Structure 1
Amino acid sequence: MTDTTGSRGADASVRARLGAQAWRRRGKRLRDRLPPILQASVGAALAWFIASDLLDHRLPFFAPVTAMICLGLTYGNRVRRVVELTVGVAIGVSVGDAFVAFFGVGVWQVAAVCFVAMSLAVLAGAGQLLMLQAGTQGVIVATLVTNEEQAFDRWIDALVGGLVALFITVALPAATPMRRPQEEASSVVGHLAAALGRCALGLREKDLDLVSGALEDARDLQPEMEDLQEIAAEGLAVARVAPFRRRHRPAVQVVDSLLFPLDLAIRNVRVLIRRAEVALSEGEVVPETYVEMLYELALAAQHIADELGEGRTAAEAREDLVNLARRSTWSVRDAGLSAEVMRAQVRSTVVDLLRLTGLSVEEATRRVPPTKADLDPGPRSESGS
Structure 2
Amino acid sequence: MAKQRMGTRERLELVDKSLQARLKRVRKRFLPIMQTGLASGLAYYLAHDVAGHPRPFFAPITVVIIVGMTGGDRVSKSVDMALGCILGVLVGDLIFYRLGAGGWQIAVIVAGSLLIASFFSSSVLINNQAAIGAILIATIMPPGAEVTGIDRTVDAFIGCVVALATIALIPQAPMASARAEVSKVMGIMSSVLDDVAKGLRHGDAEIIDEALEIIRGSQTGIDDLASAVKSGEEASRVSPFLWGTRRYINSLARVIPPVDNAVRTSRVLARRARVLVEDNDACSPQQVEILDTLAHVCLEISEVYDVNSRVAQANVIPECVNQLRGAAQNAGMSALPEDAVLSAYAVLAQTRSLIVDLLMVCGMSRESAVAALAPTSSTPRFEPESFDLD
Q: Would you say same fold, with TM above 0.5?
A: yes
The alpha carbon displacement at 1:298 in A equals 1.9
Q: 1:253 matched to which residue of 2?
A: 250
The alpha carbon displacement at 1:347 in A equals 0.6
Matches within 5 A, 1:18-57: 35-57=31-53
Q: 2:128 matched to which residue of 1?
A: 132
8 Å CA contact 2:72–2:228 kept in 1: the answer is no
Q: 2:222 matched to which residue of 1?
A: 225
Deviates further, 224-233 or 298-307? 298-307
Which AA in structure 1 matches 2:65? I
Q: 2:189 matched to which residue of 1?
A: 192
Instruction: Provide the TM-score with structure 1 as the length reference.
Output: 0.78
8 Å CA contact 2:72–2:227 kept in 1: the answer is no
Matches within 5 A, 1:261-280: 261-280=258-277
8 Å CA contact 2:258–2:357 kept in 1: the answer is yes
1:343 corresponds to 2:341: no
Which AA in structure 1 matches 2:137? V
8 Å CA contact 1:203–1:280 kept in 2: the answer is yes
Task: Name the % identity.
Answer: 33
| In structure 1, distance between residues paired with 2:211 and 2:95 | 64
Matches within 5 A, 1:81-92: 81-92=77-88
8 Å CA contact 1:99–1:142 kept in 2: the answer is no
The alpha carbon displacement at 1:183 in A equals 3.4
After superposition, what is the alpha-carbon deviation per residue over 1:40-92, rounded to whole angstroms, capped at 9, x for unaligned? 34433332333234444222222222222222331622222222222222232
Q: 2:4 matched to which residue of 1?
A: none
Which AA in structure 2 matches 1:48? Y
Task: State the secondary structure of the residue aligned to 2:255.
Answer: helix
Taking structure 1 as reference, are residues 197 and 230 closer, same or farther at Cα in structure 2, changes over 3 Å only?
same
Q: 2:92 matched to which residue of 1?
A: 96
Q: 1:172 matched to which residue of 2?
A: 170
| In structure 2, distance between residues paired with 1:198 and 1:188 | 15
Q: Quick one: which of 75, 78, 81 aligns to 1:79?
A: 75
Task: State the secondary structure of the residue aligned to 1:286.
Answer: coil
| In structure 2, distance between residues paired with 1:93 and 1:105 | 15
Q: 1:317 matched to which residue of 2?
A: 320
Which AA in structure 2 matches 1:355? M
8 Å CA contact 1:236–1:249 kept in 2: the answer is yes
Q: 2:152 matched to which residue of 1?
A: 154
The alpha carbon displacement at 1:270 in A equals 1.8
The alpha carbon displacement at 1:343 in A equals 0.9
Matches within 5 A, 1:288-299: 288-299=285-296
Which AA in structure 1 matches 2:45? F
Which AA in structure 2 matches 1:283? N
Which AA in structure 2 matches 1:170? A
Q: Quick one: which of 325, 329, 332 aligns to 2:332?
A: 329
8 Å CA contact 1:215–1:270 kept in 2: the answer is yes
The alpha carbon displacement at 1:364 in A equals 1.9
Task: State the secondary structure of the residue aligned to 2:218.
Answer: helix
1:358 corresponds to 2:353: no
Count of residues in correspondence between the two structures:
354
Q: 1:163 matched to which residue of 2?
A: 161
1:211 corresponds to 2:208: yes
Which AA in structure 2 matches 1:84? D
| In structure 1, distance between residues paired with 2:116 and 2:268 | 51
| In structure 2, distance between residues paired with 1:218 and 1:126 | 35
| In structure 1, distance between residues paired with 2:222 and 2:24 | 14
Instruction: Provide the TM-score with structure 2 as the length reference.
Output: 0.77
Taking structure 1 as reference, are residues 114 and 280 closer, same or farther at Cα in structure 2, changes over 3 Å only?
closer
After superposition, what is the alpha-carbon deviation per residue over 1:116-138, rounded to whole angstroms, capped at 9, x for unaligned? 76566455546221232123212
| In structure 2, distance between residues paired with 1:286 and 1:31 | 47
| In structure 1, distance between residues paired with 2:96 and 2:197 | 73
The alpha carbon displacement at 1:145 in A equals 2.5
The alpha carbon displacement at 1:32 in A equals 5.6
8 Å CA contact 1:36–1:74 kept in 2: the answer is no
8 Å CA contact 1:95–1:113 kept in 2: the answer is no
| In structure 2, distance between residues paired with 1:282 and 1:28 | 45
Q: 2:282 matched to which residue of 1?
A: 285
Which AA in structure 2 matches 1:338? S
The alpha carbon displacement at 1:262 in A equals 1.0
Deviates further, 349-358 or 149-158? 149-158
Q: 2:372 matched to which residue of 1?
A: 367
| In structure 1, distance between residues paired with 2:71 and 2:337 | 52
| In structure 2, distance between residues paired with 1:114 and 1:96 | 10
The alpha carbon displacement at 1:352 in A equals 0.6
Q: 1:381 matched to which residue of 2?
A: none
Which AA in structure 2 matches 1:196? L
Q: 1:15 matched to which residue of 2?
A: none
| In structure 2, distance between residues paired with 1:291 and 1:143 | 69
Task: State the secondary structure of the residue aligned to 1:145.
Answer: coil
Which AA in structure 2 matches 1:347? R
1:142 corresponds to 2:148: no
Taking structure 1 as reference, are residues 139 and 329 closer, same or farther at Cα in structure 2, changes over 3 Å only?
same
Which AA in structure 1 matches 2:66? C
8 Å CA contact 2:63–2:162 kept in 1: the answer is yes
8 Å CA contact 1:181–1:232 kept in 2: the answer is yes
